[in-house]
Amino acid sequence: MPSVIVTGCSRSTGFGQLIAKALAAAGFDVFATLRKVERAAELASWAAQHKVSLHTLEHDVTDPRQNRRVAEHVVSKTGSIDALVNNVGVSSFGALETLHDAHIRWAMETNFFSAVDMTRAVLPHMREQQRGRIVFVTSVAGVTGVPGESIYCASKFALEGLAEALAMETARFGIDVSTVRPGFFNTGMSAQNTDASKFFRTATPYDDFNNRVVRSTAEGESNGEDPGLVAQTVLAALTANPARLRWHAGEAAPEIVKQRSAMGDEAWRKYVMAELGMSDWLEPVQVSA
Ligand SMILES: NC(=O)c1ccc[n+]([C@@H]2O[C@H](COP(=O)([O-])OP(=O)(O)OC[C@H]3O[C@@H](n4cnc5c(N)ncnc54)[C@H](OP(=O)(O)O)[C@@H]3O)[C@@H](O)[C@H]2O)c1
């Protein structure tokens, strides 16, 4: 039974739990990690009810010691780490100039540096065993810029570049790397952030912009696709033979990526801003002295 670590499994509507359940149902020995242990009970009872191999571990991915402890725990229990799914991610929105410094560092730390560190925690084990699969849950925001999500995009673009380069470093050790790019899914991810003041300052020339971004993010999420599709895509990425670098989850993602590569930068900018009802933000304004 191949072992797999899935990070960020705290929420029943989030990708993490759905991925953990889909992999357990497909016969993986799943180690679902989450930082809020009080949320583990639901997953554990689901596993018992479905008679699958799914264990929960307390894990904050921003702590390098915990990343190594999780990797070593899985090796000690199963003898190997066959796969890692770096699913943890936080949303970030607000015009760059208005974001709090601490918010920028927190978002990059959680979305990028933690996935880097967790990957480095499993790599020595996978290299020694001469096999392994690593999946990064990125986003279409790792392929195209989204206005008001510059830091989120930066973190996901960074993961896309990392994965492409890493795949070339580890192929000779039998380690395959993939990214799974979801489009818009109704997981309630952004709806959790009810206090936008934690992200950005108000009373700036960007107030109207930020308000519209908050609204369009909430709308995009509530009209999103079924998150179960992402879980099925991760399962496909982990079981495909041969492995493939890039996967798109759902219907919107491949369309968006196709359109982005077909359009020039200027045409794309106009198209995205029009889609978001923000074309007026491309018009110059008079700045009073
Ligand atoms: N929803 C979408 O439309 C969408 C689209 C594209 C990509 N994605 C990506 O998909 C992934 C999952 O997102 P989701 O939509 O399923 O939202 P989610 O349920 O909020 O998933 C994020 C998970 O990360 C966990 N997490 C955050 N910081 C952590 C930390 N320091 N240590 C451990 N766990 C931590 C959260 O746990 P807590 O409950 O403890 O905060 C939560 O379980 C993210 O990488 C996201 O960027 C989502």
For residue range 130-173, what is the model confidence (pLDDT) as tens digits?
999 999 999 999 999 999 999 999 999 999 999 999 999 999 99
Please report whether residue 287 resides in a domain.
Answer: no
The domain that contains 251 carries what CATH number?
A: 3.40.50.720
Predicted local distance difference test score (pLDDT) of residue 285: 87
Range of the domain at 174: 3-280
How much distance in Å is there from the Cα of 14 to the middle of ligand 1?
7
* Stretch 81-95: mean pLDDT: 98
Asked whether residue 45 carries a pLDDT value surpassing 70, the answer given is: yes
180 bridge partner residues? 137, 247
Q: What angle do CA 24, 81, 179 make, to 5 degrees?
A: 75
Please report whether residue 289 resides in a domain.
Answer: no
Tokens, residue 241: 């033979």
* Stretch 15-21: mean pLDDT: 98
Domains of the chain: total: 1
Q: Look up 206 and say whether it is catalytic.
A: no
Q: Which atom of ligand 1 is nearest to the CA of 13?
A: 19
- In sequence order, what are the residues at sequence separation of 6 or more whose Cβ sits closer than 8 angstroms to the Cβ of residue 79? none
Please report whether residue 22 resides in a domain.
Answer: yes
Taking CA atoms only, the protein residue closest to ligand 1 atom 16 is: 14
Taking CA atoms only, the protein residue closest to ligand 1 atom 39 is: 10
Best of 5, 9, 11 to mutate for ligand 1, by most ligand atoms within 8 A of CB? Answer: 11
Please report whether residue 285 resides in a domain.
Answer: no
* pLDDT tens per residue, range 212-251: 999 988 888 889 999 999 999 999 999 999 999 999 999 9
From the candidates 136, 152, 184, 209, give the one annotated as an active-site residue.
152
Asked whether residue 203 carries a pLDDT value surpassing 80, the answer given is: yes
pTM, two decimal places: 0.97
- Roughly how many angstroms between the first and final C-alpha of the chain, as a whole number? 68
Please report whether residue 286 resides in a domain.
Answer: no
- Own/partner pairs for 24-27, CB < 8 Å, 24+ apart? 24/50, 24/52, 24/53, 24/54, 25/50, 25/52, 26/235, 26/239, 27/1, 27/2
Write phi, then psi, for 80 (nearest 5 degrees). -160, 160
DSSP code, position 93 = -
Predicted local distance difference test score (pLDDT) of residue 289: 62
Predicted local distance difference test score (pLDDT) of residue 40: 95
Predicted local distance difference test score (pLDDT) of residue 196: 87
Predicted local distance difference test score (pLDDT) of residue 287: 72
Binned at pLDDT 50, 70 and 90, residue 286 comes out as: confident
Please report whether residue 23 resides in a domain.
Answer: yes
Task: Give percent of the chain above pLDDT 70.
Answer: 99
132's enclosing H/E stretch is strand 132-137
54's enclosing H/E stretch is strand 54-58
Tokens, residue 151: 């830091």
How much distance in Å is there from the Cα of 190 to the middle of ligand 1?
9
Please report whether residue 11 resides in a domain.
Answer: yes
Q: Which atom of ligand 1 is nearest to the CA of 59?
A: 33
Predicted local distance difference test score (pLDDT) of residue 221: 85
Please report whether residue 168 resides in a domain.
Answer: yes
- In sequence order, what are the residues at sequence separation of 6 or more whose Cβ sits closer than 8 angstroms to the Cβ of residue 141? 149, 152, 153, 156
Q: Which atom of ligand 1 is nearest to the CA of 61?
A: 32
- In sequence order, what are the residues at sequence separation of 6 or more whose Cβ sits closer than 8 angstroms to the Cβ of residue 256? 140, 143, 144, 183
Predicted local distance difference test score (pLDDT) of residue 220: 84
